[in-house]
Structure 1
Amino acid sequence: MHAVTQGFTALAVSLACAAAQASDQSESAGFVEGSSLRLLNRNFYFNRDYRDAEPGDQSYREEWAHGIMAFYESGFTQGTLGFGVDAFGLLGLKLDSGRGRSGADLLPVDSDDRPEDDYSSAGAAVKVRLSNTELRYGNMRTEAPVFATGDSRLLPETATGLLLQSKEIDGLDLQAGHFTAYKLRDSSNQDDDLYLNYGENRIGKSIDFVGGTYALSKQLSASLYASDFDETWHQYYGNLNYVLPLSDTQSLDMDANLYKTRDAGKALQGEIDNTTYSLALGYAFGDHKLTVAYQDVDGNTPFDFVGGDSIFLANSVNYSDFNGANERSYQVRYDLDFAGYGVPGLKFSARYLKGDHIDGTKADPLGGYAGLQGEDGKHWERNLDLRYVVQSGAAKDLSLRLRHTTHRANEAQAEGDVDEVRVIIEYPLELL
């Protein structure tokens, strides 16, 4: 029995053996009394200009859409075992786009590349809780570093499967999951295939994972995860995060991430032996923060991942993940919180990244990454981000965000020359 299955079994045993005293379940308010209902309105404008598009290719994408999202979470019934239900409904509405401008992934497109006027989806998960351990089955969002659904467009992605989470020990958060289907960000279907970001061969049918995070102190935490992507790979993840307070207004923080991926089973995406890591060091002083980061990919294939956000690396940013085969990349970032200047809720960030040494020519010629990248690939990216959150009044928690991205690359890197603008307005409401 491989490590992921063993880990899943061990975590299941903790569910059966969990103590019934002082716990989340023993303090359950009840199915209805513990319920919550949230509504989120998201207005999203997106344009992307491909500056180096070939004649005849689509060189510009522009979509404007409005999303309405409702999330219901019941409480748990009282007793030793508590039962509950979570549900969601998602609706996306086109405000502006058209044939020749579609493809920004805010809206689905028809067979003629025309964006749909609207799309929607709904899903639910049943849940059971014993002590501080919960088991969920159905449609849900996930956050594990080896399988995390994304939320970078109009509507969030969701996955279908089983998730077990245990917090029986203070500071220790354990998870295990088995997932078989996926809803993409611009899709209405809850039963799409699992989503692989870069590999182009047949997709595995399921993913299993187990792992957890332990807070060793208020300043130091560590994470370890392992996953098994059906007939494709075994992937392992580790993280160390440390915050060192220097004074009341100054601190240093360090974040280290490591992924190890090796092909397994039928190796549907071909031969893979990839070690990717990132190191980030930040210095916060007052309302300012400076961050530098380094990321390294050791392998003849890109670092790839299942699910839209399963890349917990420092240099995965707005447009590029800086995860090319054999790539080295560097980042410098500046953050400013305007609260100290009399404008609470206003934040600004700017970052610049540069990647080089990319060589994808040695990838398995029969694998899913063959021909994806050339030799001596290079690129850079600049991100500017301005966000304001209303602090009080009738519009409290209304947020407005402007994001601008510039990316430039040589032909071997393959992601192209891009200018991009995103304008995002969100208004959350707590109805229950």
Structure 2
Amino acid sequence: MSKSASVNPLRTLAVLYCLSWTLAPVAWGQSVGGFQDAELDLKARNVYWRQDYRDGAPSSREWGQGLMMEFRSGDTPGVIGLGIEASAYASAKLDQRNWAAARAGVLTRNDDHLRNASAWAGGALRLRAFDTELRYGSNLRPYNPVFAPADTRLLPSTATGWWLSSRAVSDTFLEAGYFTGGKDYSSNRSRREFYASYAGVSTDRVSYIGGSHTLSDNSGFMLYASEFRNIWRQYFMNVSHAWTLDERRLSMDFNLYHSQGQGRKLAGDIDVSAWSFALGHTRGAHTVRLSYQRIEGDQPFDYLGMAPGSYHDSIYLANSSQMSDFNGPHEKSWGIFYDLDMSHYDMPGLSLHARHIRGYGADGSAMNPHSPYAYYGSNEKHWTAEVDVRYEIQNGAARGLSARLRVGVHRMLQGSSNVSSRQIRLYLEYPYSIF
């Protein structure tokens, strides 16, 4: 249910615009084949990404424009309803330098060929019964601790397969997925494979089951299990709680993963536990958090990739950051985080986030030399410092227009599994509801 092509960006914009008016009668309350209450949303996103290296390697730069259209029909009447969902994405290159030096994934490529412009379309069928939905298609975007396709570049990643989700139980969200392929954020076509990001090996099938339960306004937990066929089985648990004391709020968050090799063990023998613990204190506009993270095992903690060299969001550990995940074998790390919400100072929509994380003790000396993870040294040490500033216009004709600047520095003090670099990301985004 997907289609890809290299196109003229202006032609693609015109097609998406015409499509919006073709679907408009559905939104005006007219019954078209029994479908009502449809939604059609358009989002424009501009991304600039620059990477500089301390070892003298040439800097790289990627700059592009993306356009995303999402259509969701209403459901047919009755206890069991049928609906459709469709997505159309287009991207265009604005500037690029030293593509071979660093592939940030902002611009679209097929293998080693960079495209000046591209487009992709996909869809899904949806079956609803009460508060439970079953989807089948190529534009699915679940987001959870064991399977989370990223949306951090020009265009989002999508998965192909089955996705079941339910809120039939009060205060509980349950879901299960079975996927046989996906489209990476830097691609305009679906592949019948997923990757272990750090190992670089692939599988043709990923499945998971899990959910979350809210115990109160201040506490809850999550449990998930997944399988990357012939690579690993992975389990996840999260517990969170908060206390409100006068004008202060104290919070606690604990995450735990365990991964074990499965089937043919294409990434070798895996037996890794990874956990993190964070404490936060909020007063007014200010939040300060302290975190500690630890990897226990002779391999790094690995997670979802959807193309060679791509990294997605299936890592709910406190110290996973813009520049590094601090997930090496036996690695320990601590972090300090500061968040500022300027709405407390009559500047709604403006926020600042800063963090500093230091990792030490990553040790790959006990690893099988034939392992795909055999690129870690002994007692590696490194740190990151990152700042994230965001602003979104709250009112007026430009309501929803947002700008985000992310700046990060990473320094390797000892070891060779990563490099010292500096990164700048700038996002401009405007969402528009057509109907």
Q: TM-score, normalised by structure 1?
A: 0.88
Specify the alignment match of 1:12 in structure 2: none
Specify the alignment match of 2:147 in structure 1: 147
Specify the alignment match of 2:35 in structure 1: 32
Secondary structure in structure 2 of the residue aligned to 1:195: strand
Deviation of the 1:144 alpha carbon: 2.1
Deviation of the 1:411 alpha carbon: 5.0
Deviation of the 1:195 alpha carbon: 2.9
Sequence identity percentage: 38
Specify the alignment match of 1:270 in structure 2: 268
> For the structure 1 residues 296 and 136, does the alpha-carbon distance in structure 2 shift closer, same or farther, using more than 3 Å as the test?
same
Specify the alignment match of 2:64 in structure 1: 65
Amino acid at match of 1:141: R
Query: Contact between 2:36 and 2:76, CA under 8 Å: does it hold in 1?
Result: no
- 1:383-404 per-position Cα deviation (integer Å, ceiling 9, x unaligned): 0111111011110111011110
Counterpart CA distance in 2 for 1:125 and 1:182 is 13
Secondary structure in structure 2 of the residue aligned to 1:97: strand
Amino acid at match of 1:426: E
Amino acid at match of 1:197: S
The 5 A counterparts of 1:174-213 are 174-201=174-201, 203-213=202-212
Counterpart CA distance in 1 for 2:210 and 2:216 is 19
Specify the alignment match of 2:13 in structure 1: none
Deviation of the 1:153 alpha carbon: 1.1
Query: Contact between 1:39 and 1:69, CA under 8 Å: does it hold in 2?
Result: yes
Query: Contact between 1:102 and 1:115, CA under 8 Å: does it hold in 2?
Result: no
Amino acid at match of 1:34: D
Q: Report the aligned-residue RMSD.
A: 1.7
Amino acid at match of 2:265: A
Specify the alignment match of 2:220 in structure 1: 221
Counterpart CA distance in 2 for 1:233 and 1:388 is 40
Specify the alignment match of 1:7 in structure 2: none
In terms of mean alpha carbon deviation, does 341-350 or 293-302 score higher?
341-350
Amino acid at match of 1:293: S
Counterpart CA distance in 1 for 2:317 and 2:240 is 12
Secondary structure in structure 1 of the residue aligned to 2:52: strand
Whether 1:285 aligns to 2:288 is: no
Amino acid at match of 2:176: A
Amino acid at match of 2:275: Y
Counterpart CA distance in 2 for 1:175 and 1:150 is 18
Query: Contact between 1:335 and 1:349, CA under 8 Å: does it hold in 2?
Result: yes
Specify the alignment match of 1:320 in structure 2: 324
Specify the alignment match of 1:106 in structure 2: 106
Structure 1: give runs of 5+ residues left out of the alignment. 1-28
Matched residue pairs, number? 396
Deviation of the 1:99 alpha carbon: 4.5
Counterpart CA distance in 2 for 1:391 and 1:355 is 39
Which stretches of structure 1, 4 residues or longer, exceed 6 Å deviation after superposition? none
Query: Contact between 1:358 and 1:413, CA under 8 Å: does it hold in 2?
Result: no
Specify the alignment match of 1:15 in structure 2: none
Deviation of the 1:115 alpha carbon: 3.5
In terms of mean alpha carbon deviation, does 114-123 or 221-230 score higher?
114-123
Counterpart CA distance in 1 for 2:330 and 2:344 is 42
Specify the alignment match of 1:26 in structure 2: none
Query: Contact between 1:387 and 1:402, CA under 8 Å: does it hold in 2?
Result: yes
Query: Contact between 1:163 and 1:178, CA under 8 Å: does it hold in 2?
Result: yes
Counterpart CA distance in 2 for 1:120 and 1:415 is 33
Amino acid at match of 2:303: F
Q: TM-score, normalised by structure 2?
A: 0.88
Counterpart CA distance in 2 for 1:108 and 1:71 is 20
Query: Contact between 1:51 and 1:59, CA under 8 Å: does it hold in 2?
Result: no
Deviation of the 1:85 alpha carbon: 0.8
Counterpart CA distance in 2 for 1:110 and 1:214 is 41
Deviation of the 1:120 alpha carbon: 1.8
Whether 1:412 aligns to 2:415 is: yes
Amino acid at match of 1:205: D
Deviation of the 1:217 alpha carbon: 1.3
Specify the alignment match of 2:377 in structure 1: 374
Counterpart CA distance in 1 for 2:124 and 2:406 is 34
Specify the alignment match of 1:394 in structure 2: 397
Secondary structure in structure 2 of the residue aligned to 1:198: coil
Specify the alignment match of 1:235 in structure 2: 234
Query: Contact between 2:123 and 2:137, CA under 8 Å: does it hold in 1?
Result: yes
Deviation of the 1:109 alpha carbon: 4.2
Secondary structure in structure 1 of the residue aligned to 2:122: strand
Query: Contact between 1:38 and 1:71, CA under 8 Å: does it hold in 2?
Result: yes
Deviation of the 1:75 alpha carbon: 1.4
